[in-house]
Structure 1
Amino acid sequence: MDLAPVVDGFSVVLEPTNLLFCLIGVLVGMLVGVLPGLGPAATIAILLPVTFGLEPVTAIIMLAGIFYGAQYGGTITSVLLRLPGEASSVVTVFDGHALARQGRAGSALGIAAIGSFVGGTVSVVALSLLAPLVAGFALDFGPPEYTALALLGILLVATISGGGRLKAVIAACVGLLLATVGRDGFTGAERFTFENLSLADGLDFVPIAMGLFGLGEILHNLEERHRATQAPARVADVWPSRADLRRSSGAIARGSVLGFVLGVLPGGGATLSSLAAYAVEKRRAKQPERFGRGAIEGVAAPETANNAAATSSFIPLLTLGIPANATMAVIFGALLIQGVSPGPQLVTQEPELFWGVVNSMYVGNVLLLIMSIPLVGLFVKILRVRPTILAPITVLITLIGVYTVNNAVFDIVLVIVFGALGYLMKKLGFAPGPLVLAFVLGSLLEDNLRRSLIIFEGDVTGFATRPISGTLLAAFLVVALFPVVRGVLARRRTPSVHDAPRTDARS
């Protein structure tokens, strides 16, 4: 492995401008994690217009900092208020708030900071080692391989994301349909434009993302604002004891590995990683009844795993051009807006950007560790700001931001339309992530599918004749058929009413 680009990447990160925006990113990320419901995907979508005036590497460093910074910010409300600021912090509520009620909120927050730092750092090291290898392998990809990979990515996210498989698949299909709006890239024919010139060039990613994740989330959270919250617990001694560190060391190690592996998988992400890490620790524990009553491992494992997963999810994005989750889909859109195409060529064609973003995570994790403990008191005060004050300001920033992209009133209309759609999706239990991911991958899927059919002269069996595309399609079929097979086997194992043993009424 050539270390020269890696060293050059550190020089990029340590430039004053990039270092400043790395700091801004992790600070905003922590703040976003503290504010329940907003989330990193919504925040990054809202801030997309801000990145237009920045260099590509500076913009992505800031957006990446927001993503992994939000993972720790959600811990603060989980521990102090029993209110997870992030979906990935839901599991932390069980033992984190129990520790707070015992007067050990400081220990819980301290072990979360340490676990987040270790998990993030381990994941960045693995990212540095594995990403170039993945990119080198991906150089063998052609149109058939990208077609199969896009199909597999959409299906994995649709089947693993929350809200139910059927609803996720429906959302993904809507996203694919939206990706076809505009002129056909091969024939020039207009599709689904309804003779509206504003739709002739297709739908922009920014209004869709800002509407679904930004405005939609704000509307839904305003409706839920009547929920009563508890007063923040007192925070003291924000540093775990030696016994806590010794008890948590194994959980942190296992959470780092598990989070890294699940973060790479499309649809895995920080939420699934935190759930899996908590389940592993509870299953391994000699006294599983301690979990939910203040087990320090119940905080260390999920907090380590979600930060490790947040970092490793950059591998498929940067090396394959496939976003692994909704937030990565928004960052994918940010890269495209900056004129950067993520994929196998990124490591060789844009080494400064690639290694600058990767190495910024080392710096970002150190900044998180240094700032997380002193800023706890400040974030607790921010929690007392009423949503009725924050929401209008956020909506105004969203509408102004989307207008500045193309100076078009039509984009504001799109944000409002997709904001209403996002609100309805939340109400009906549909996750917006699969829709956004499918929209981002829609053009990639369509273009490469049509190119592949031209290469194979219309013979769809050609996909199976190429080793990589054939393997990916086989994986696609396994993922698609697995729920069906599992359901059939479950029905066979369940004894029917006729098979139940009969009792003699006379007895």
Structure 2
Amino acid sequence: MYSDLLNALPEVLSLANFAAVIIGVIAGIVVGAMPGLSATMAISVLVPFTFGLEPLVALGLMAGIYNGAMYGGAIPAVLLRIPGTPAAVATTFDGYPMAQKGEGGFALQVAVVSSSIGGIASAFALMLLAPPLSQVTLLFGPSEVFWVAIFGLASIIFLLGGSPVKGLISACFGVFVSVIGADPIFGTDRYTFGQLEMLDGISIVILLVGLYALPPVIDLLETPLKTETDANKLGTEPIWRTLPRMGRFWKTWIRGSLIGIWIGILPGAGGSMAAFMSYNEARRASKTPETWGNGEPEGVAAAEVANNADTASALIPALTLGIPGTAVAAVMLGGLMIHGLQPGPMLFRENPDVVFGFMWQFLFGAILLVFLGGSLATNSFARLLNLPRPLLGSVIIVLMLIGVYSIHGRMFDVYLMLGFGAIGYVMDKLKFPLPPVVLGLILGAFAEENLRLALRIGRGDWTILFQNVTSLVIVALTIAVIVGPLIKRRYVNKRLKAELGSKTGMEE
């Protein structure tokens, strides 16, 4: 089968197929950099127009857009604290503080290199692991997937830092939003208040734009006067000169790539969960965790390498089993079917040139990120900081309104976004963390669906959630994530009291 992988390479290197990847990467960066737009939306719009194209040309455009958009989301996340894509939320933690320090260009260079490394690792995982891992993913039943979702929520609540109580409240709010709409099993309305527009639930784009785009815009407009930022202080020197400064991130890149690949293989988890987990693990392993959240470049590297390592690996269950791991993977499966290609085990036997060519296109798209993203996006978008705040705020508001309205073409979504924006503004002022809200929305419905499915399989017997060794391992990890920080905090408080007591005794 790996001989078919090599045989597909010459076809991918043809002018039309390679140009499709280049165009896709550039388009993906632009789409990802626009708050409210996403790779899923861009590919959904693209799919109908690819009907008359060769399969590899169409798939090359999709692969390029996917790679480019995942990095493009880091551009507004770093410069404006507005994640262009849901997976870029964790990038704001240290990327935006770096921009405030005048290191926005360097933060974007760290992001593009990390994105490229994660994408390359993900592409190799897709090439090497798709056939054998098709059997492994079958071992994850509803109970195991439910515990994976709980583990993701626990990680962001207790390892993000700050108040666990506020983190828990934020996560619960996100989970509540996730259950709005029609019941997935019985079809009854839940918390729709008679609004037909809410039957399909709350779109992640609406919540994301409201929580993360509107509060920073309000802050921009509240302080209209802005001193000019020297472009030379943005850190926009040639990317090859900044590479030596990134050498210390190699452990973070390896760890984040492995986390992203693992999360990508699990159906439904997504790049957001991968980025949060990678960020938390890198922060926990850091010798200076107190610097994280205040402009630590390694935090940007941890988030970006993981959310890009999720891209191609999410297609492993999609291509081998027909189970899309993410929304983008689901759209890509639709693109495959439009061209007469049926996802599943037979795809590798009947169309090896297309499926392995698709894998090569993902690899080339990840490599091209450094050249196209590093030179085009970093040097151009970093200078957004020089725009006057009122003008910048006005442009962002227009992009927000267009992006949200374009989802379903209705004003109700715009009003909903403004409502979430008001909530996000209040939460930001009260120091409630916003990431648990987003992850609660992503994983809430995911956990509910699998919990109810597991209980239906077990006929209401709750012990079915603990009958598998894999489930018990994930439960143990979840308990460790919850108990570990609490024990550490208690130990630190006890040590501080002891030091304070010793100092008081000496003064007496």
**TM beyond 0.5:** yes
* Contact 1:65-1:361 within 8 A present in 2 as well: no
Task: Quote how far apart the aligned CAs of 1:20 are.
Answer: 0.9
Aligned to 2:189: 190
Distance in 2 separating the partners of 1:319 and 1:16: 25
Aligned to 1:456: 458
Distance in 2 separating the partners of 1:147 and 1:227: 48
Partner letter of residue 309 of structure 2?
S
C-alpha spacing 1:219/1:176, structure 2 compared with 1 (3 Å): same
Aligned to 1:80: none
Task: Quote how far apart the aligned CAs of 1:28 are.
Answer: 5.8
Map residues 318-333 of structure 1 onto 2, 5 A cutoff.
318=315, 332-333=326-327
Distance in 1 separating the partners of 2:94 and 2:504: 48
* Contact 1:212-1:422 within 8 A present in 2 as well: yes
> Would you say 1:21 and 2:20 are equivalent positions?
no
Distance in 2 separating the partners of 1:15 and 1:483: 48
Out of 388, 407, 410, which is 1:408 matched to? 410
Partner letter of residue 26 of structure 2?
L
> Would you say 1:469 and 2:461 are equivalent positions?
no
Distance in 2 separating the partners of 1:158 and 1:277: 14
Task: Quote how far apart the aligned CAs of 1:378 are.
Answer: 4.2
C-alpha spacing 1:346/1:167, structure 2 compared with 1 (3 Å): farther
Aligned to 2:46: 54
C-alpha spacing 1:88/1:21, structure 2 compared with 1 (3 Å): farther
For residues 15-54 of structure 1, give each alpha carbon's deviation from its aligned partner in whole angstroms, at most 9, with x where no partner exists: 644431212223566xx4xxxxx8xxx4545x76544321
C-alpha spacing 1:485/1:162, structure 2 compared with 1 (3 Å): closer
Q: Structure 1 vs Structure 2: percent identity of aligned residues?
A: 22
Partner letter of residue 251 of structure 1?
R
Aligned to 1:260: 257
Distance in 2 separating the partners of 1:307 and 1:405: 26
C-alpha spacing 1:267/1:128, structure 2 compared with 1 (3 Å): same
> Would you say 1:417 and 2:416 are equivalent positions?
no
Map residues 81-480 of structure 1 onto 2, 5 A cutoff.
86-89=92-95, 121=120, 124-125=123-124, 128-129=127-128, 136-161=135-160, 164-223=163-222, 226=225, 228=227, 230-233=229-232, 238=238, 251=248, 253-261=250-258, 263=260, 266=273, 268-269=275-276, 272=279, 276=283, 279=286, 307-314=304-311, 317-318=314-315, 332-334=326-328, 348=345, 356=358, 359-369=361-371, 372-373=374-375, 378-379=380-381, 381-480=383-482
Task: Quote how far apart the aligned CAs of 1:346 are.
Answer: 7.5
Partner letter of residue 52 of structure 1?
S
C-alpha spacing 1:179/1:411, structure 2 compared with 1 (3 Å): same
* Contact 1:254-1:277 within 8 A present in 2 as well: no
C-alpha spacing 1:402/1:49, structure 2 compared with 1 (3 Å): farther
Aligned to 1:64: 67
Partner letter of residue 189 of structure 1?
T
Which structure shows the higher helix fraction?
2
* Contact 1:74-1:86 within 8 A present in 2 as well: yes
Task: Quote how far apart the aligned CAs of 1:449 are.
Answer: 1.0
C-alpha spacing 1:70/1:190, structure 2 compared with 1 (3 Å): closer
Distance in 1 separating the partners of 2:367 and 2:222: 35
Task: Quote how far apart the aligned CAs of 1:391 are.
Answer: 2.8
For residues 38-87 of structure 1, give each alpha carbon's deviation from its aligned partner in whole angstroms, at most 9, with x where no partner exists: 8xxx4545x7654432129545642431322555898899xxxxxxx954
* Contact 1:123-1:256 within 8 A present in 2 as well: no
Paired residues, number: 452
* Contact 1:258-1:277 within 8 A present in 2 as well: no
C-alpha spacing 1:176/1:339, structure 2 compared with 1 (3 Å): farther
**Structure 1: 5+ residue stretches without partners:** 33-37, 78-84, 284-297, 322-330
* Larger deviation, residues 220-229 vs 471-480: 220-229
Task: Quote how far apart the aligned CAs of 1:382 are.
Answer: 4.2
Distance in 1 separating the partners of 2:406 and 2:26: 25
Distance in 1 separating the partners of 2:47 and 2:229: 43
Task: Quote how far apart the aligned CAs of 1:334 are.
Answer: 5.0
**Structure 2: 5+ residue stretches without partners:** 49-58, 81-90, 264-272, 290-295, 319-324, 336-341, 349-353
Partner letter of residue 23 of structure 2?
L
* Contact 1:150-1:445 within 8 A present in 2 as well: yes
C-alpha spacing 1:219/1:49, structure 2 compared with 1 (3 Å): farther
Partner letter of residue 55 of structure 1?
V
Task: Quote how far apart the aligned CAs of 1:438 are.
Answer: 1.8
Partner letter of residue 456 of structure 2?
I
For residues 115-135 of structure 1, give each alpha carbon's deviation from its aligned partner in whole angstroms, at most 9, with x where no partner exists: 775676456545654566655
